[in-house]
Structure 1
Amino acid sequence: MTDYCAAWSVADRVARDRLLARVWAADGVYSDPTPTLAKGRVALSKVIADFQRQNPGAHFQCSTPQRHHRAMRATWILLGPDGSQVTHGVDIYDMARDGRIQRIVGFFGAPPSVTPVVPAKASAPAQGGAARLVGTWRLVSATERMKDGTARPDPNVGALGRGYIVYTATGQVCAMLGNSERARWAVLDQPSAAEASAIPENLIAYCGTYSVDEAGGFVVHHVEIDLSPNRTGTDRKRFFTITGDRLVLFAAPPLPERVQALTITWERVR
């Protein structure tokens, strides 16, 4: 990534081609909105030379790339000779098996924004995906899929967990779920220190507001009060699907160290 970004500022063709040979696949494809389409290392070198002639003294600053599997993205800023910003954008990369860049699709400017379906005002009626969430849902199961391929009930809930989650039409959410087999306290309403310390291990409880991103397929719970005071003011992001009366929430990262996925299934209460 560093060599590719630097290549756009190298005027000497031999030196530029040497950099590209290290990072660019021989049949790699570059495209951007100008429109530019360059197929192969030689064609890309020519595109860079043309860019330098049209923008003398300009150079790029590139971000550290974000990567998963063989895909990558990075943002960039184009600076003029005086250091002022000319424009900015993002590049999407496909990587070859040998680690070289196979394809780049470039975009200029900031990405388009997403308008939440649920407006900021709590009194606004739910619409779209938010309207489908509205109601009371009873817990069916909470399952962790581990990185070693095994599965287990969520330790906070257990195999016989019980609970509810409620989404209101005015944008509020409350959830309470826990292990129905947790031990009773020796004295009613007066837990011992050991009994009190076990409460967060067997119970999840919070309330707040929520917003839905239909395009992204997720809901965000904006926590206003939580059993754990450290979680108050945080967000819980959940991807979701609704099929008939079945709601499935998939917890977004970060997850516990050994957990690959957390799936919480609910059934609508009628």
Structure 2
Amino acid sequence: MNQPSTPRRHHAAALAALSLGLSAGGSAWAADQAPSKAPAPLSATERAQHQAAFQAYTDAWASPSDGLRLQRLTDSLAAGMTYQDASVRAEGVAGVNAMIAGFQHQSPGVTLKLDDLLLWADHGLAKWSMMDPKGALMMHGFDAITYDAAGHIKGIVGFFDIPAQRAAPR
């Protein structure tokens, strides 16, 4: 069997340790913390709830009315949720609703399309496309998502696939 080079094996071990520490909700560097067991895979019901919540959130960006947008957000977001990207932070359903309303006012007809959604335990990673009013691709983006126990979104960290957010090439 082909073994990865020593530095690569160390990177894999470091990433695994970081992942375990972060999934336990604590510091990945706490020396006194024993690694915890990975959460059980999502049930089909939980997976469907998480997917439906993120789809409703994505659909809110293209809602034709303020009432429908607010309903989609109320259905999908936890009350105290937070949204953060490079340019804005919003808190709660009202804050996210105001953020999206401002975006819709500045960019009428621009929509988001969910391209892919990866789910694990209470986490998600979404890839989406921003489309202009004629349906042409403007850019891609990614959202790191956390869900509460009821399947509502409690946190989103957004990334835009633009040069300013790309890591420097090695």
Asked whether the two chains share a fold, i.e. TM above 0.5, the reply is: yes
Report deviation, 1:11: 3.4
Task: Find the counterpart in structure 2 of residue 23 from structure 1.
Answer: 76
Could you say what secondary structure the match of 1:63 adopts? strand
TM-score under structure 1 length normalisation: 0.40
Equivalent-residue separation in structure 1 for 2:142 and 2:103 (angstroms): 17
Give the one of 60, 74, 93 matched to 1:41: 93
State whether structure 2 residue 147 is matched by structure 1 residue 95.
yes
Aligned residues: CA RMSD: 1.6
Q: 5 Å matches for 1:106-255? A: 106-109=158-161, 112=167, 115=170
Give the one of 128, 153, 168 matched to 1:76: 128
- Which runs of 5 or more residues in structure 2 are unaligned? 1-53
Question: Residue 104 of structure 2 aligns to which amino acid in structure 1?
Answer: Q
- Which runs of 5 or more residues in structure 1 are unaligned? 116-270
Equivalent-residue separation in structure 2 for 1:14 and 1:84 (angstroms): 27
The answer to whether the Cα contact below 8 Å between 2:116 and 2:128 also exists between their aligned partners in 1 is: no
Equivalent-residue separation in structure 2 for 1:83 and 1:67 (angstroms): 27
Q: Stretches of 4+ moved more than 4 A in 1?
A: none
Structure with larger RCO (C-alpha < 8 A, sep 6+): 2
Equivalent-residue separation in structure 1 for 2:60 and 2:90 (angstroms): 15
Equivalent-residue separation in structure 2 for 1:54 and 1:69 (angstroms): 36
* Inter-CA distance 113–89: structure 2 relative to 1 (3 Å threshold): farther
Question: Residue 83 of structure 1 aligns to which amino acid in structure 2?
Answer: G
TM-score under structure 2 length normalisation: 0.63
Task: Find the counterpart in structure 2 of residue 7 from structure 1.
Answer: 60
Q: Which has the higher strand share?
A: 1
Report deviation, 1:78: 0.5
Q: Which has the higher helix share?
A: 2
> How many residues are aligned here?
114
Calculate percent identity across the aligned residue pairs: 28
* Inter-CA distance 100–90: structure 2 relative to 1 (3 Å threshold): same
Equivalent-residue separation in structure 2 for 1:109 and 1:12 (angstroms): 28
